[in-house]
Amino acid sequence: MVRIAHFSDLHYGPKNLIEADRCFGAAIDMAMASGVQAAVLSGDSTDHALDLHSPAAERLVAQVRRLADHCPVLMLQGTFSHEPPGTLSIFKSLGGRYPVHVADQIGQVALMPNGCWQVSSSWRFDVLPDGLMALFSCVPTVNKAAVAATVGAGAAAEAVGEHLAVLLAGFAESHRRAQALTVPSIGVSHGTVFGCMSEHGVPMAGFDHEFTTGALFAAEAQAFMLGHIHRHQAWDCEGRHGQQRIAYAGSIGRFHYGEDGDKGWLLWEVDTSSAVCTLQPTPARRTVDIVFDGKPDLDSLRDAVAQQDVAGAFVRVRWTVADEDRHEVNREAIQQVLGAAAEVKLEGRIVPVVRTRAAGISQLSSLEQKVVAWAQATGVQDAGLLRCLDELVCSQPQEIVGRILEAKCSSFGDGGNEAF
């Protein structure tokens, strides 16, 4: 059996530095205390291209070096928008006690007893190395643009999934040979599994996703460690090759509001007949969402604060108001009520005033015709409007005022007997 620490989606960058470094640092401490024999970072270690002199790059390099002083480390190429090709190359030269292998191409790598990585010369080993402890099959992010250039943009998404399914099935022979040698086999990749859940609870369904669970299980690896989706989730399969498990570690920290589930890393225990992983939570920040259908009500906000602890939490307040009411929202008062929060984010959705134009109304000759056309366009009954218009046209202003006052006095007189 081999014990592996699986980290993913660290997203080191200026925006996420504090959260990422606090959570990844705590995860490394826990992994070392657990006596892991290897560590896997399954993509998106950075949030975007980083300058080497940036604080985010310095902290990430320092943390990976600390991890490499404890055990061998495998780093997988993630999404190109987060990790442009070549971003991870610097980690090959860290010079820790154990080596860091950067998997930026499809291939296999063997973990040897001395803690070194032995890399296949092609996409898989023709002959497995003698004495290997574990076999890793690595499938970094696929460049869909290259596929689109070959098969066309419309067919690229489906073509990627089809080719990856063939590739994964091709790894099965190596994994069976490893199993015969009582060596655990592990797959590592970065992408989306059809039907998985996003961190916001949205099912990922569509034809543009890289994997299906069937294609991943067809690789016949005991464990398949995935990155890209920020929510931890797992799938199991019991078959003639023993118990197999696919799992996302999820993001190391909570980088966005509204994310469901705990954040952490996975502690894997893998042998030739089973794979078990457990989520080890990290000290990710707490987020709280308070939503108003209309204008924020301060009394309701105080009640919400009293019902849940917002001290030290990251609080987002959302509301929806009409355009003419937007200036009635007291942002300073909201900030004061949430003064104990670590951060307050105010998001107001403004509903614009929608004006409906009646086609051809400017070409009508009379005001009466224009009123009728406007009423039809807006769905308003025109009878009362036409009576008022007729009164405006046929009567003098003094007469209209007199009739209105007379009607009010008459109404008051009728009710006055009852009042007194």
Q: Which pLDDT score, from 0 to 100, does residue 207 have?
A: 58
Distance CA 59, CA 18 (A): 10
Q: Supply the DSSP symbol for 240.
A: T
What pLDDT does 404 receive?
81
- CB distance 54 to 12 below 8 Å: no
Using a pLDDT cut of 70, give the percent of the chain over it.
92
How does residue 418 score in pLDDT terms, banded at 50, 70 and 90?
Answer: very low
Instruction: Report the pLDDT value the prediction gives residue 411, as an integer from 0 to 100.
Output: 64
CB 301 within 8 A of CB 334: yes
Least confident of 27-36, 279-288, 390-399: 390-399
When pLDDT is cut at 50, 70 and 90, the band that residue 419 belongs to is very low
Residue type, 345: K
Of 243, 121, 232, 240, the residue nearest 184 (C-alpha)? 243
More confident residue, 230 or 350: 230
| Alpha-carbon distance values, 304 to 23, 189, 296, 301, 344 (Å) | 28, 42, 12, 5, 14
Assign 161 a pLDDT band (cuts: 50, 70, 90).
Answer: confident
Predicted local distance difference test score (pLDDT) of residue 35: 95
Percent pLDDT > 90 in the chain is 60
Question: If you average pLDDT over residues 341-353, what whole number do you get?
Answer: 88
Shortest CA distance to 2 belongs to which of 214, 180, 152, 185?
Answer: 185
3-state secondary structure of 67: helix
CATH class, 2-281 region: alpha beta
The CATH number given to 287-351 is: 3.40.50.620
Q: List Cβ neighbours of 23 (8 Å cut-off, separation of 6 or more).
A: 252, 253, 263, 282, 283, 284
Mean local confidence (pLDDT), 269-284: 95
- What confidence tier does 388 reach under pLDDT thresholds 50, 70, 90? confident
User: Stretch 102-129: mean pLDDT, rounded?
Assistant: 94
The residue-averaged pLDDT of 119-146 equals 89
Residues of the chain with CATH 3.40.50.620: 287-351
Of the candidates 240, 246, 161, which has an alpha carbon nearest to the alpha carbon of residue 206? 161
Residue 415 pLDDT greater than 70, yes or no? no
Per-residue pLDDT of 90-103, as tens digits, reads 999 988 899 999 99
Least confident among 12-21, 150-159, 391-400: 150-159
**3-class state of residue 217 by DSSP:** helix
- Distance CA(54)–CA(304), nearest Å, equals 40
Q: Residue 316 corresponds to which amino acid?
A: R
pLDDT surpasses 50 at 5: yes
Please state the rounded mean pLDDT for residues 299-328.
88
pLDDT at 143 over 60: yes
User: What are φ and ψ of residue 369, in 5° steps?
Assistant: -65, -40
Q: Which of 146-155, 196-205, 236-245, 335-344 is predicted with the least confidence, judged by mean pLDDT?
A: 146-155
* pLDDT at residue 122 tops 70: yes
Q: What pTM value is reported for the model?
A: 0.80
Q: What is the pLDDT of residue 389?
A: 84
Structure tokens at 187: 């797959």
Q: Which of 93-97, 257-261, 415-419 is least confident?
A: 415-419
Residue type for position 55:
P
- Is residue 417 scored above 50 in pLDDT? no
Alpha helices in 45-152 (DSSP H): 55-68, 144-151
Q: From edge to edge, which strands make up the β-sheet containing 343-351? A: 287-291, 314-322, 343-351
Residue 58 CA to residue 264 CA, distance in Å, equals 22
State the Cα–Cα distance between residues 20 and 8, nearest whole angstrom.
11
In the β-sheet with 2-7, what is the strand arrangement from edge to edge? 100-103, 73-76, 38-41, 2-7, 264-270, 275-281
Domain with CATH 3.60.21.10 in the chain: 2-281
Average pLDDT for the chain:
88
Within 8 A by CB and 6+ apart from 406, the residues are none
What's the DSSP call for residue 400? Answer: H
Q: How many CB atoms lie within 10 A of CB 419?
A: 6
Q: Measured between alpha carbons, how far is 4 from 67 in angstroms, rounded to an integer?
A: 12
